[in-house]
Structures are given as structure tokens and as C-alpha cells.
Chain A
Amino acid sequence: MDASQETPRTPDPPGAVTGTAENDYRGSPRVTRRELITATAATGVALGLGGKVLGVPNVVRGAQAAAIKFGLLEDRSGNFAIYGLNKWHGTQLAIKEINDGWTLRGGPDGPGGPGVVAKVATKPPTMHPVLNRGASTVSRGGAPSEDKVVWDEADDYLVKSGDTGVLGRKIELIAPDPQSDLRQFQSLARRLILQDKVDVIMGGFASAEREALRPIMDQNKMLYWYNNQYEGGVADKYTFCTGALPEQQILPVMEYMIATYGPRMYILAADYNFGQLSAAWTRAMAPILHGQVIGQEFIPLSVTQFSSSIARIQQAKPDWLVMYITGQNHANYYPQANAAGIKIPMGSSINIAQGFEHLRFKPPALARFHVTASYMEEIPTARNRKFVSRWRKMFPNEPYLAMEGHSAYVATHLYAKAVRLAGTTDKDAVIEALESGIGVEAPAGWVFMDPATHHLSNYIRLAHCDEKHNITFLTEWPHIEPWWTRRLGVNLVKHPEFKQYTPDEDPFFKKGTKR
């Protein structure tokens, strides 16, 4: 590890930040005297020079600016605790970096950060013999170009923000535990909005939790982020989503699996919204991708025995299995199928990346599993190695850096950037800033917040799990846009809406609708 630029510098004495927030509801690090003096000095200078030198807008009023209140509603107990804890940690890591003056590289500009790969001339250009100029002229008939990284990854995805916290204000995290209970989500959301008067709320794992929150967010005009993969379709003025979508996960995995293993697919889906809608996407897209759904099953969430499904799969002999099963009960499918000797490859948008089944189950239960993920801990790029080490330094006991922890992390940084752009925490101004087309270098790669749909384009990689449960990445799609709701005419910049679209509202899907 390099010394200076390796981790964000922490001016605090040791031990002040690591894992402080395990049981505390307000989890940001305490302000030390050194920070206070720094802040006071910075403020004094800023006031004196009218903010021109530092470029920080003059919103600081007193010796210490009021903190920005950041509300988080992620489950730390109950059914969804393993996902919620991971996202909570991601948020805490991002807030700590922001408060220490770091931000993700990017802004309302294009990609082009560290690690860009481009075609490079193998030999430097020569001068034109006659015109005697032409550093831009390349000799003819020379060696072909090659692919090379033109920008060293020694630079980080994190850069200095030139700010302490955001606009000189630290972010204070207020994170009660909704206990995977929808009514608590509702009550705590109201508490955060009305009592704690937070500036932003992020949270929710299951779509039900998001749908319970949205009416309250809309009623109170509260900026809300949902940082989880889901079935897509939310078009809400006050909601921003950073999780992966069907067009980003289902289509790529289908494309790869059909090309690699064959067109005959058998769908195993959990019998609830996510499973049903994912299956609807699969059925609708199969003809375009030259695939064929030869059978499908919807499995109630309580089922733990899959012998009849396994028998049907063995009879149908598909080229590959489409797996949309979810939850602790359904995870029992993998060891059972393995014991029954099923060796059919599997393609999915949901397991492993989120619930780290490849670590929880003994090999080779998840062998031949392929999933398209917006992030996984095993991504081998140098920048992700840095990200993982920073995370594990702050949370040494984290079982796995799951996909949604990364989504939460990116969302937090994106929010900070938008506030800085807007110059205020006023929610309408921040929403406008978010709609100005911001892209950032996330640990997974470059991501872009689409103004019209309020969803994130994601850097998608196809992960493959082998017999020993090692993960390799077979291919990637560096930039998939959230195009589906745009197809339905959603443009939240021009026409605010507050709903969730379902595939049945898309004429294209109606053709393939068969249960």
C-alpha cells in the first residue's frame, strides 16, 4: 500500500471513527478541537474574503456551521438485516470520506477518469517530410495500434473536494433501525422529516419498503434515494434510484447465456413482484435475443423443498436456467439441485452479488452460476482493491461487500456533489442539480445519473462462479443506461410524476404476457 494517497487522511486521533456507530443512532464521528479550529479559521477567512478565494459559497454563519442531517432507513434487524447492515456501512464510509474532504471524481462532465483504455499508436508519429510539421501526423503503413491504458490508476477515484464536509458543513448521519417492519419505516420516516428535519433520506431494501415510504416522501417534498436493485419503473419527482435495473441486468445476462449455452431457457422465479416482473422481462425479451422460454415456475416465498421443480427441470432439459429466486428459504434450492446432479448453467440478476451465497454455501452448490452485477467485492481492478481495503479498514468484520453497499456509497457521494453544485441543501435546488447530468467515478466504474428518469446508468459485469466458488468476470458492459422508463415517455424534468410503472403499461410487453 502507498503511504500518502492511500487512504483519506484523518485528522482525528486514532480510534475515533472505526466502527463507532454500531449501536448508536447518530453515527458520524465527533468533532475534535483541531477540526474546530480549522473550521473556524477557514470560516473567518471565507467571511473576510467573501468566499472568492476558497471558492466556497458563503453560507457559513457562525463559528461552526450547522451539520447537514442525513437520514438513513436501513434494516439492522429482522429479515433484511444482512443487506441493511451492508448498506449502512457503505453510507458511513462515504460520509466519513466526505467529512474529511474527499469526493468522487466527476461532476457534470463526461467520463475519462483513471483507467481509461484506448487505442494507442505503437510507435510515436513522425514529422511529415514536406510540410515539416505534424505531431499529429502518423506514419503510413506502420505498425497497427493497440489497446492500452492511457491513464495510470495510481490516481484514485477519490479526489480532494476542497471542502470540509459539504459547503463547510459536516454530514451528520441519523440512522434508526426500521427492523424490516413496514410500519416502522412509515413512523421513522415521519420522525426523520418532521422531528429531526433531515435534508435527505436514503433507504429501503425491498420494494415494499420503498413503496411504503414514497407517499410520505412525496407529501413532505423530501428528497429520497432508493439504493437497491429492483424491478424498475419508479418515476417520482422526489425519488432517485442507484440500484441496477432489468434492462441493465436481465438483458445482458440473457444475451451472454443464449450466445454461450443455447436458446432454451427455463425460468425459476420467486412468486412475488420482483420474480414475476423479472420473468415478464425475460419472456418479452426472449424473441429479440433469439431465446426461447420452454417453461417457467413461480415459487412461493415459503417453499424450501424443490424436488418437484428439480424433476421438471431434469425432464425439460433446458440449455440454461433463469434464476430469479430470493430469500433464505429459496437458497435451499442450490444444495438440493447439486445433490440431484443438476449441472445446467444458471443465469441470474439477483443472487451472489447481493446475498453472497457463494460464501455462505459450500461448493459446488453455486457452480456454473452467472450473474450480472453492478458491483461485487471480487472485481479485480486496482481502484476496487483500494475501495475494498478502505472499507475493510473501517469495518473489519464485514462479511461481504455486497452490491447494494456500493450503491449506497455512490449515492451518498452523489448527493454531496449535488449539494455542492446547488450551493444549498434546499431540496428543490438539489434535485435540479441532480438533474444536470452528473457522472462520477464509482469504485465499479463510471456511473451517470440520468436527468429524465432519476436512475443511474451502471457499469455491469458478468460474474461467473466456478466449482470452487471462485468468481471471475467473463465480460462487461461499461455503460448501460436506464432506458426503459424513457421509453414510456418519462421525463421528470419536464413532467413531474409520482408513480411506479409496470411492464403491462408498455405495449411491447403486452405481446408476450402469458403467465
Chain B
Amino acid sequence: MKRRWRALRDALNGPQDLGRSPGFWGVFIAATIGLLLYPASGSSFGLSSLVSFLLYVPMALGLGLLWGYGGILSFGQSAFFGIAGYIYGLVAGNLTGTPAGTIVALVAAIAAAALAASIFGYFLFYGQVSGWIIPLLCLVLTLILATFMGQTAGYQWRVGQVLLGGYNGMTNIPSLRAGAIEFGGTSTALYYLVVVVTLLLYLGLRVFVNSRYGHVLVAVRDDPERTRMLGHNVDFIQVQVFALAAALAGLSGVLYASWGNYMNPSTMDLLAATLPVIWTAVGGRRSLLAVVLSTVALRALADSLAVSGSQYAFLVMGALLLATMLFFPGGIIVSVARAWRRPSRTRPGAREAVEPKGKGEVA
């Protein structure tokens, strides 16, 4: 099949994400090089700041995949962020003597998040829960976890020598460490780790959504019954994507614990649950690129509003979300990208003349 080979070969440039021209890749490479060279000229505060934006990208990408490509809106990704952060703190805090203790903790944390999501997702998707109830159930999950963790203040709430800490949170969590390299909050090591992880994750997911499985996922979003009738185990696919998104949220949780050495129930509360949805919706959930850009931009905006002492930070974010929903329902970045491409489509004979690689709509 000619078409089939073409899709495989152009995996990165498939139709499922924005930005396919050589110009785009040029800018992408330039930005990557800029990010990688930044530590040479940037202050350690600048590094720490950028890390605090980028470390949320895995969680946002997971939600973008789950919601934009899978059609499942989860209002509870913060639950898996928190589970992973806390498990990391518990394991790393108890393995302080062991050299690879934090790495074991990292693996345990992400596995815990994925496992929790698999179990929860099994009941959601195999139980044939109606689509519109799913966001509510996810929100309930994260709120239950936040409330539960908030009342674990007593000394009896501990694992080994690490206290859960209740509302005060779990403090002095060790940063990730590999041999002699410590990935502390202001370290260059953590900066590079986060940049490289984000980059690889983005590219990997881009290939993923353009793959066969990625198309099946989109088919599940657009018409689950049709997809079932083409032989796909839709329930299982949904659980798989849900678990993958949870693992990504968990990765963000561990990176946060390594950055701030502190974990707290408020990372799972209503605001924390809503923010990823806002980032994804404002950028455009149907494009991984838009999700990455809007997450970084909105995190930076929130921080700069705090610095300028504005009491209207919440209002600004809310107004931004409202404006997006009213005027750019597909997301600001996605709408801008569509408008940019539209003039070329109206030229006569445009369809054959313009780039032959997958010019189809962002699905």
C-alpha cells in the first residue's frame, strides 16, 4: 500500500500535529539549541524558573494525548501527579543510604501512578461509564486524595521514617541523584534533564500519534462504536491511554519533588486539577505542539503576575480561558495555525501544488 508506506516514513510529519514545513523544523531546532545553550549565560534562578515551567509539560502532554487525541477529558491528572510525588518522597526518603535510591523511587512512583490509573480506568471504561461523567469522576478522585492526604498529620501516618505530613506536607524530600550528579532545584543537571526529557517526550509522542495506534486512538475519539466494529478493543485502548497519561503526570510529579524537595496535598486540589485543563484548552488540545507552548507560556504568565504583585492573577487566567472558549474554541495556537494555512488552500489547484506530505486537517 503506497499510502501506508508514506505515513510510516513521514511519521514525524504526519497530519496529527502542527508544524510540518522545513521552516517550522528550522525554528524548532533553533529553539532547542537556544534552550540547550541557555545555562552558559543564564542565572541559576533563570534555570530554576524554566525548570518550573517545563516540568509540567509531561503532564500537559499526557492530558493532550488523552483529551485531544483520545477524546477523554480527565479533570484529575493532578491525582497521579500527587501519587507519584508522594511515593517518590516515601521511597527516596527511606532509601537515603542507598546510592540508586532516588532512581528506584522514580520508577516506583511512575509505576504507582500508572497502576492506580489502570485500576481506576478499568472501572471507568470497562464499566461503560457515560462520557460526560468521566471528568467528574476524575475530579472526585483527585479531591478525595487531596482530602485524605490532608488529614495525615499524625505521627502514625508514616512509612518507615518518612512522615506523610498532612496539610503541612512532606518536606526535605531528596532530589534525584545519579552517582555524583544531584538534580537539585537550581542545578544545571536538573535543567538539562528536564529539557532533554521534554524534547524526547514531545518527539516520541509526535511519532506515536502519527502511528497506526495513534490513528486508532483518534478513531476511538471520533466514533468509538465504528472503531469497535472494525475490530479494535476500544475499552482496553482507553485504559492504556489513561495509564500512559497518568504515567506522564507522575513523571511531572517526581520532577516537581526533585525541584522543590517538598510535596503537599494542594498539588491535588481543585486548582491543581483545573490548571492542566486550562493550559491544554487555551493552546489547543488537538495539537501536542500547541499544548507544549501554551503550558510554558501560561506558567510563565502566572509567575510574572505574582511578581508584579497583581491581585488579579486569578481573574486574568479565568478571563483568558473564557476568551478562548468564546472566540477560539479549538485553542488559540491551533486557531492561529489554521488561519495561517487557510490562504494557501483557497488558491486554485492548491491541493496538488502545496506540500505533498499529509496536509490533512489536524484531526
Contact = CB atoms under 8 A, between A and B. Distances in A.
**A–B direct contact (CB < 8 Å):** yes
Interface of A: 23-25, 76-78, 81, 175-179, 181-184, 186-188, 190-191, 193-195, 206-208, 210-212, 214-216, 219, 271-274, 276-277, 280, 298, 300-302, 498-500, 502-505, 513, 515
B30 to A, nearest CB: 26
A277 B153 contact: yes
30 contacts: A24-B309, A76-B311, A175-B309, A176-B309, A177-B310, A179-B313, A179-B314, A182-B267, A183-B52, A184-B303, A186-B52, A187-B52, A187-B303, A194-B48, A194-B186, A208-B169, A211-B171, A211-B262, A212-B169, A212-B260, A212-B262, A214-B171, A215-B173, A216-B185, A272-B151, A273-B168, A276-B153, A300-B151, A502-B154, A513-B155
Contacts of A76: 309, 311
Contacts of A78: 314
B172 interface: yes
Contacts of A214: 171-172
A182 B153 contact: no
A34 B192 CA distance: 51
B45 A190 contact: yes
A190 B185 contact: yes
Interface hub of A77, A210, A214 (most chain B Cβ within 10 A): A77
A177 B173 CA distance: 25
B27 interface: no
A315 B110 CA distance: 49
B92 to A, nearest CB: 13
Interface hub of A194, A277, A301 (most chain B Cβ within 10 A): A194
A181 B310 CA distance: 14
B311 A177 contact: yes
Nearest to B313: A179
A273 B167 contact: yes
B40 to A, nearest CB: 17
A216 B260 contact: yes
B306 A184 contact: yes
Given A190-B45, A195-B45, A211 B169 contact: yes
B154 A177 contact: no
Contact of A272 (B52, B150, B172, B308): B150
Interface in B195-254: none
Nearest to A81: B311
Given A207-B167, A272-B150, 17 more contacts: A76-B311, A77-B311, A177-B313, A181-B266, A182-B267, A188-B307, A191-B49, A206-B167, A212-B260, A214-B172, A215-B172, A271-B151, A272-B153, A273-B165, A273-B166, A273-B167, A515-B154
B52 A194 contact: no
B335 interface: no
Nearest to B143: A302
Contact of B264 (A24, A182, A271, A277): A182
